[in-house]
Amino acid sequence: MEAYFASRNDLILQDRSSRLDAYQLKQVSDVEKEADDIVRTIRTVEANSVWGVNKTTIFDYSPDDNSPNVFPGMAFLTARDIAVHTKVFHIMSKMPKGALLHAHLFATVRARKLLEIALTQPAIYIRTTTRLTPSSIKATLPLFKALPFAQRTNLTSLTDDAYIPGEFVPIRAARDNFDVSLGGPRGFDDWVISCMEINPSEAYGTHNTTAKIWAKFTSTFKVNEPLCFHMPIWKAYVKQFFLSSVEDGISYVEPRLSFWQKFCSGEDGESNIPHREWLMAYDGVIKEVKEDLKRQGRENAFVGSRVIYSTMRTDSPEQLEWYLEDCLALKQEFPHLIAGFDLIGHEDSLRPLIEYIKPLTTFQERQKELGLDIPFIFHAGETLGDGTAADMNLYDAILLGTKRIGHGFSLVKHPKLMEICKEKKIALEVCPISNEVLRLTTSIPMHPLAIMINHGLPVVLSSDDPAAWGSTGMTYDFYQVLVSSEVSGLITMGELARDSLKYSCLDDDEKQHALAAYNEQWSKFVEWVVKEYGTNLNKPARLN
């Protein structure tokens, strides 16, 4: 029997030897070990007390059972309100997260905040194409636009009888005078926000397929883009993104910024602000936030930001050429701001990478000519397909030398590509909640992340488009991952965070600095865990 258990332990160790936490687990400090143990204990307790694991047994069948279907790692949009009150969530909210490497910039700030910003902008107008009534409102989208002075109206309501569908109303007036039958100003907010967010009845009911939920998801961008691409909002949004990231323990952000629209509207609603001015503004906001934090003595809380130049997979290869040249020009002017290049949009239905091989390889040659280095950081394999064009994007992303892979959800179906990713340290930017809300998986225990981690694939966690699911930051992603495994623990979460800095596009020097700052934050954090939860595991979670 002893021999059996010895060989069993040996087998388990071998099986887990390539995990990202294998090395760290051999050299943890006492306090790290204690914090990890504490979190495992709390997780087990909450699995029962909060998530009802072990509550029903297989002998407890009740045909008229109407109890909620809850479990750890369950669908986010219904789990959120439960998760937020747990101790594990509280701990994750305090954990330093390292870098956010996969997020679409204009889906990172809560819709309510965006609306709040938009309401301060005199150029922002709103219209609808059908008359709003209590019965039509659910199916009607708010259409925003920044208007030049000449086109501005002084209409006062979107909902009174005099309103002619299609006419623009100033956003502030539209809100103030929103009909009481539609909920008044608060009804206006709820309506607009519901069109910028995916709600559970859509994700898990009416639009419960990847194709249908992507249609809803795309429509949220139709609603918020006219706001985000108005320069005064643009700047305020970016600042809010940085601040909320810092608040969540994220010290560096590398968002995808879509340059597909060639211009933002200026404050006057008239002028066209070109891409280079976007980056000047971006640079300005970074400096502002850094200075603010420095004044507060928190300069290590934010080491900065770079953007991944992104454009849409809707364009033809010929149309793409303009963007590639644009990207080269921007990299020349802002070498410290352009981290890489990507193509974005729904992989299952838009053009696969293989259609763009020619312009993309030309792009690489042009970089050599110009002495630039703009790594590809491609979305690939964000699909349930096995051998579909979206799944095959993985071959092209890797053959084109991608530095990381956005999602790589289907990568675990490709043994040879897994080998290459491990060898070449091509990290997967895994977005667990995004994949779940967008219906590639229906819960985190069903997500391939555990497969990726156990196989030693380089992995980082990301939030993708948290605003679209009413969230911000990465706490929820870490939470969902932590409660969905019995192998991973706090040490694992720390390694995931550290790896996000390692696989970022920071320069070597910056990276060393960021990692040193991270290690300091981490030490304080594990000490806090022990102090806060070590002595009394049973005290209630502090609400955030």
Site for its own copies in 116-175 (CB under 8 A): 138-141
- The DSSP symbol for 484 reads T
Identified binder of its own copies from the candidate list 340, 345, 408, 473, rule CB under 8 A = 345
Bridge-partner residues for 376, per DSSP?
Answer: 341
Identified binder of its own copies from the candidate list 398, 431, 482, 501, rule CB under 8 A = 398
Task: Return the number of the residue (215 or 370) whose C-beta is nearest its own copies.
Answer: 215
- The total number of residues shown for the chain amounts to 544
Q: Which string of DSSP letters, residue by residue, matches 110-164?
A: -HHHHHHHHTT-TTEEEE-SS---TTTGGG---EEEE--GGG------SSSTTPP
Task: Return the number of the residue (486 or 507) whose C-beta is nearest its own copies.
Answer: 486
Amino acid code (one letter) for 148 = P
Q: Is 544 in the site for its own copies (CB under 8 A)?
A: no
Identified binder of its own copies from the candidate list 22, 281, 372, 450, rule CB under 8 A = 450
**Which part of the chain contacts its own copies (CB under 8 A), choosing from 84-92, 281-289, 341-349, 472-480?**
341-349
Kindly state the tokens that stand for 305.
């930001």
**Which part of the chain contacts its own copies (CB under 8 A), choosing from 104-112, 183-191, 257-265, 381-389?**
381-389
Identified binder of its own copies from the candidate list 30, 296, 297, 387, rule CB under 8 A = 387
**Which part of the chain contacts its own copies (CB under 8 A), choosing from 97-105, 155-163, 240-248, 353-361?**
353-361
Q: Which residues within the stretch 61-100 sit at the binding site for its own copies (CB under 8 A)? A: 61-66, 69-71, 74
Task: Return the number of the residue (12 or 180) whose C-beta is nearest its own copies.
Answer: 12
Q: Is 49 in the site for its own copies (CB under 8 A)?
A: no
Task: Return the number of the residue (293 or 446) whose C-beta is nearest its own copies.
Answer: 446
Whether residue 227 contacts residue 108, with contact meaning beta carbons closer than 8 Å, is answered with: no
**Which part of the chain contacts its own copies (CB under 8 A), choosing from 29-37, 165-173, 177-185, 452-460?**
452-460
Q: Indicate the Cα dihedral angle 83, 89, 93, 97, nearest 10°.
A: -100
**Which part of the chain contacts its own copies (CB under 8 A), choosing from 99-107, 240-248, 393-401, 523-531?**
393-401
Angle at 248 between CA 246 and CA 251, to 5 degrees: 40
Whether residue 15 contacts residue 514, with contact meaning beta carbons closer than 8 Å, is answered with: no
Bridge-partner residues for 461, per DSSP?
Answer: 430
- CA 215 to CA 253: how far, in whole Å? 27
Angle at 249 between CA 245 and CA 253, to 5 degrees: 45
- CA 448 to CA 453: how far, in whole Å? 9
**Integer angstrom CA distances of residue 320 from 175, 187, 314, 317, 353:** 40, 41, 9, 5, 12
Identified binder of its own copies from the candidate list 280, 357, 370, 516, rule CB under 8 A = 357
Kindly state the tokens that stand for 111.
């819709």
The three state secondary structure string of 281-316 is HHHHHHHHHHHHHHHCCCHHHCCEECEEEEEECCCC
Q: Which residues within the stretch 464-503 sit at the binding site for its own copies (CB under 8 A)? A: 484-488
Could you tell me which of 520, 492, 514 has the C-alpha nearest to residue 40? Answer: 492
Question: How far apart are CB 435 and its own copies at their closest, in Å?
Answer: 10
Query: How far is C-alpha 83 from the chain's CA centre?
Result: 18
Q: Which residues within the stretch 214-253 sit at the binding site for its own copies (CB under 8 A)? A: 214-219
Number of residues that bind its own copies (CB under 8 A): 86
Question: How far apart are CB 11 and its own copies at their closest, in Å?
Answer: 6
Contact map string, positions 198 to 217, toward its own copies, x by CB under 8 A: --------xxxxxxx-xxxx
Amino acid code (one letter) for 384 = L
The end-to-end CA distance of the chain, in Å, is 49
**Which part of the chain contacts its own copies (CB under 8 A), choosing from 107-115, 248-256, 289-297, 453-461?**
453-461
Question: How far apart are CB 373 and its own copies at their closest, in Å?
Answer: 21
SS3 (DSSP) at 69: coil
- CA 231 to CA 452: how far, in whole Å? 40
Count CB neighbours of 134 within 10 A. 11
Question: How far apart are CB 404 and its own copies at their closest, in Å?
Answer: 19
Task: Return the number of the residue (92 or 392) whose C-beta is nearest its own copies.
Answer: 392
Task: Return the number of the residue (285 or 398) whose C-beta is nearest its own copies.
Answer: 398
Contact map string, positions 13 to 32, toward its own copies, x by CB under 8 A: -xx-xx--------------
Identified binder of its own copies from the candidate list 2, 27, 30, 57, rule CB under 8 A = 57
Q: Is 318 in the site for its own copies (CB under 8 A)?
A: no
Identified binder of its own copies from the candidate list 119, 417, 459, 514, rule CB under 8 A = 417
Question: How far apart are CB 265 and its own copies at their closest, in Å?
Answer: 23
